[in-house]
Amino acid sequence: MTARTCLSIVLAAGLGTRMKSDMPKVLHQIGGLPMVGHVLKALEEAGSERVSVITGPDMPNLESLVHELMPTAHCHVQAERLGTAHATLAAKSDLQDAADDVVVIFGDTPLVTSGTISKVRGQLAEGADLVVLGFETPEPLGYGRLLIDDGRLVAIREERDASEEERKTTFCNSGIMGFSGAHALALMESVGNKNAKNEFYLTDAVEIANQRGLKVVAVAGSEVETQGINTRAQLASCEEDFQNRMRLAALENGCTLLAPHTVFFSHDTILETGVTVEQNVVFAPGVKVASGATIRAFSHLEGADVGSGSVVGPYARLRPGAVLGAKTKVGNFVEVKNATFGEGAKANHLSYIGDATIGSGSNIGAGTITCNYDGYLKHRTEIGEGCFVGSNSTLVAPVQLNAGAFVSAGSVITDDVPGDAMAFGRSRQIVKEGKAAQLRSRLQSEKDAKSR
């Protein structure tokens, strides 16, 4: 397989009309990544070194995303939406540059895997000229049927055109096709538009290829994996299938999910073996959790790296740039943003740690805040190893606590603290004996006077 060249054509010109969206359909997200991004990733993993994406007019945001995710991809505009064969020919200039395999795939099939794409390419490598990916379903209503005769795919029959007997067929068309590069362009150009909508349907290539004596076959895939998305309801259903796939992968990788259906993953979430995840945890994009770590209930992580043996939560929030070393603790109602915790550092409760470095073994008391923003610019707080910051302290950045420094509870720290020094940044307590009794007596008298 690796010796064969491959051009993949991604059909992504669809509007979000049925989704009631102004955004191109394939930009809607599954697992925190636009649908087309999932498809591009699968194609790359399947060894497609060339990719052409067919967009619609005025879709610069889609083109920008494609070039961001896959800089080598080519975008081609389908000026008029005249069917799938018409769409593929928008990439005619790329088709003229020969490839062994040509894969045509929809941009709204985000659950398709590289293994399935490789399965299609495998049939081309074994001598097929045209390969159609199908799936079995107990409810084929609305799908085009794959008609097989003696192991040969003879036609794809749409529901409205199928006979009563053909409608009994449960092997249906996914829309994903593979062409031998030697015949791809000629077959696509031969597709006509003699149908009710006067559109050019790529599925007609099956009968054309058979008429030319070419080898046409179908391979079976998964209905879940090849599902397309046209509505918000289908988007939600696909998201659920994606989450179930990720949950199963985590469990099979040796992670513990105490309530799997309450844990939500992103497309790039990495949980190493031995991670424990409690209930109602959300992994937004960009999260990696090392082995032996525990993510406790109701925590939200995004763009964060959690070290081995660390404990996060419950009710913790890790924002982008949070890096926790081994055996750290970030507890309930602690928010961490763009901050690094050294090994064994702790912020157990009720704190905001932003734009900071926390040295190994340091302890951040409850209610501590790093004041990182002055209204115009962000500034860093540097806390060395073995420091102790007392509860309800405010660290006004830029400020540095050197190794072993101690900050007394309730302090406002605006200047650097030397190593092993103790800093007090608060007013000295004053005690006035009997003052409370005098105050109560006066206030009670005033209250009584108003009630007369």
Query: Is 372 among the annotated ligand-binding positions?
Result: yes
Half-sphere exposure (Cβ direction) of 209: Cα atoms closer than 13 Å: 29
Give the DSSP letter string of 331-380.
Answer: EEEEEEEEEEE-TT-EEEEEEEEEEEEE-TT-EE-TT-EEE-B-SS-B--
Stated length of the chain? 452
Placement of tokens 């605006």 in the chain: 414
Token pair of 43 as six digits: 């194609």
Active site annotation includes 349: yes
Query: Is 84 among the annotated ligand-binding positions?
Result: yes
Query: Is 158 among the annotated ligand-binding positions?
Result: yes
Catalytic residue among 261, 300, 349, 379: 349
Element (H, E) at 451: helix 435-451
The amino acid at residue 337 is: K
Query: Is 81 among the annotated ligand-binding positions?
Result: no
CA distance 386 to 366: 17
Query: Is 7 among the annotated ligand-binding positions?
Result: no
Q: Which residues pair with 356 in a beta bridge?
A: 339, 381
**Residue ranges with strand state E in 150-215:** 152-157, 171-180
Query: Is 61 among the annotated ligand-binding positions?
Result: no
Cis peptide before 314 (omega within 30 of 0): yes
Query: Is 317 among the annotated ligand-binding positions?
Result: no
Query: Is 144 among the annotated ligand-binding positions?
Result: yes
Q: Which residues pair with 54 in a beta bridge?
A: 11, 76
Query: Is 125 among the annotated ligand-binding positions?
Result: no
Cis peptide before 398 (omega within 30 of 0): yes
Query: Is 278 among the annotated ligand-binding positions?
Result: no
Query: Is 337 among the annotated ligand-binding positions?
Result: yes
Element (H, E) at 396: strand 394-396
The amino acid at residue 430 is: I
Residue 218 CB neighbours (<10 A): 25
Query: Is 83 among the annotated ligand-binding positions?
Result: yes
Query: Is 218 among the annotated ligand-binding positions?
Result: no
CA distance 89 to 385: 63
Nearest to 305 by CA among 314, 316, 319, 297: 319
Query: Is 14 among the annotated ligand-binding positions?
Result: yes
Token pair of 143 as six digits: 């799908």
CA distance 7 to 4: 10
Query: Is 366 among the annotated ligand-binding positions?
Result: yes
Binding-site sequence positions: 11-14, 25, 78, 83-84, 108, 144, 158, 173, 230, 319, 337, 352, 363, 366, 372-373, 391, 409, 426
Question: Annotated binding site for acetyl-CoA: which residue ranges?
Answer: 366, 372-373, 391, 409, 426
Annotated binding site for Mg(2+): 108, 230
By annotation, the residues acting in catalysis are 349
* Binding-site annotation, residues for UDP-N-acetyl-alpha-D-glucosamine: 11-14, 25, 78, 83-84, 144, 158, 173, 230, 319, 337, 352, 363
